[in-house]
Chains A and B, each alone.
Chain A
Amino acid sequence: MATHRLSTPLGDEAIRQLHVGDEVLLSGTIYMARDAAHKRLVDLLREGRPLPVDLRGQTVFYGGPGPAKPGHAIGVVAPTSAYRMDPYATVLFDHGVKAAIGKGNRGPALQECCRRNCAVSFSAIGGISATLFSCIKSAAIVAYEDLKTEAIQRLEIEDFPLLVTNDAHGRDLYGEEVAKYRALLAAQG
């Protein structure tokens, strides 16, 4: 399992090199959007209308930060559960989003969608918000300010620690590793 230091936007060539279990330190621009923003974005795409921000080729981070303390770029934040975004994420990946950052296992439709679109789904450790927010150097709301913590924000990140959990080759880390350890623990009696 390799460690990669990558910058956004992520192209097909970089994404094809990534395999489940690889660690990635990601830098550059990403877009933070979660449940309520995803619903609005997908409603727009289904109506054939333009999105408030061009997400083609971009990385979407499923996050909703706490309020920023004075002197901080953003409040504490870590990814939210990725599975809740699955019904929207398949539409957004087909539209051109190349990568997502969430936590927890995702469904088969998303796995197939990553393979079809040469896209990747990363996980960051859920709940370590006090650690992860220091990797965010700046933040600006770019759409849906009324959604408060769920507004879409453009973030500049530096060495954000990620794990490849669904790669462009159709593999799923969660399914593979849990089955492996379940068998191992059963064998131990």
Chain B
Amino acid sequence: MQPRIPSPSASASRADEAASRHPMRQIHTDRIIDCIAALCIDACRKLPEDVIGAFHAARRTEVSPLGKSVLLKLIDNDRIARENDVSYCHDTGLTIVYVELGQDVHIVGGDYQAAVQAGVRKGYADGYLRKSVVGDPLLRVNTNDNTPAVIHTEIVPGSDMRITVLPKGGGSENWSTMKFLLPGEGAEGVKRFVLDAVTTAGGSACPPLTIGVGLGGSFDKVTEIAKKAILRDIGRYHELPHIARLEAELLEAVNRTGIGPQGYGGSSTALWVAVETYACHITALPVAVNIQCHASRRKSAVI
């Protein structure tokens, strides 16, 4: 007996019917450009409230007088940047853009990727933000507009477009690292690897740090989730109890290294450690550490 295959016309009419029940929402690329430009400027000029709150909390617990004075200067610097409409730090980073794109959105007006890059270009020009990108890693000629940004796009249910801009400074990024541990090394192996990364970075990564740790996934996935971890609000633990426990233990261990604010010695080496996980292969325990400096800039908006 022949299988019953729907005729093309029947399939098309069902698609039309679905489309009429869930009409695509249109978003123009001009809106995306303006949104990303504003996010770049805002992110670079104002640290998030949770980061400022963590500076204040660290000032209360810091054991070194010099460390306390550094933390106060970081708080002052955020105020000065806001008052004068200038960026908190001169290194306004390589721009990482995360887009959660609702599957019921239809982008009109032009090319989506080009619009994201145009938004970054506009933000860095209008906001007097430093252009820190060279077009080729070996030829090293500055592109003069801070593009290309690194873009991560995820298709999600719904008809919204959520955009997050993470301007990532080079001084801390340079100390990030990944390794495939043996599966049996477990949580203790992860702790050793994270502590080694932090002590190797020392004062050069501009502590107090936010540390993003990726566990599991593949070679590419583990670094992606380590970076996503630094987007998490300071003070919010992972929802899985054993991962939340690991986060707390890592933070305590990092803050016993003695590195302190700016590496001048002290107990506030990190403000937070966030761990993100993914399933992985039976042979592997991949771990990645993304180091973020005290200028932990990030800003989101929904279109």
Contact = CB atoms under 8 A, between A and B. Distances in A.
Given A80-B91, A126-B171, A181 B266 contact: yes
Contacts of B203: 103-105, 123, 174
Nearest to A63: B90
Interface in B42-81: 63-64, 66, 70, 73-74, 76-78, 80-81
A78 B89 contact: yes
A148 B142 contact: yes
A122 B202 CA distance: 16
B242 interface: no
Contacts of A36: 140
B262 A179 contact: no
Interface centre among B76, B90, B129, B206 (most CB of A within 10 A): B90
Contacts of B90: 63-66, 75-78, 129, 133
A44 interface: no
B204 to A, nearest CB: 3
A65 B130 contact: yes
A2 interface: no
Contacts of A186: 256
B244 to A, nearest CB: 23
A146 to B, nearest CB: 9
A67 B267 contact: no
Interface string A66-96: 1111000001111011110000000000000
Contacts of A177: 64, 66, 258, 260, 264-266
Contact of B86 (A103, A130, A176): A130
B92 interface: yes
B277 to A, nearest CB: 29
A78 B262 CA distance: 13
A181 B267 contact: yes
Contact of A178 (B87, B255, B259): B259
B77 A105 contact: no
Nearest to A106: B204
A139 to B, nearest CB: 13
A30 B64 CA distance: 31
Given A81-B204, A103-B203, A127-B77, A66 B87 contact: yes
Contacts of A104: 171, 202-206, 262-263
Contacts of A68: 128
Contacts of B80: 130-131
A113 to B, nearest CB: 18
B241 to A, nearest CB: 25
Given A178-B265, A181-B267, A64 B204 contact: no
Given A130-B77, A178-B260, A182-B258, A76 B89 contact: yes
A64 B205 CA distance: 17
12 contacts: A69-B86, A69-B128, A81-B171, A105-B203, A125-B73, A127-B88, A130-B80, A130-B88, A148-B131, A174-B203, A177-B64, A185-B256
Interface of A: 21, 36, 63-69, 75-78, 80-83, 103-105, 123, 125-131, 133, 147-149, 163, 173-174, 176-186
Given A63-B90, A65-B130, A126-B206, 9 more contacts: A67-B130, A75-B86, A76-B89, A76-B90, A123-B203, A127-B169, A128-B89, A129-B88, A181-B64
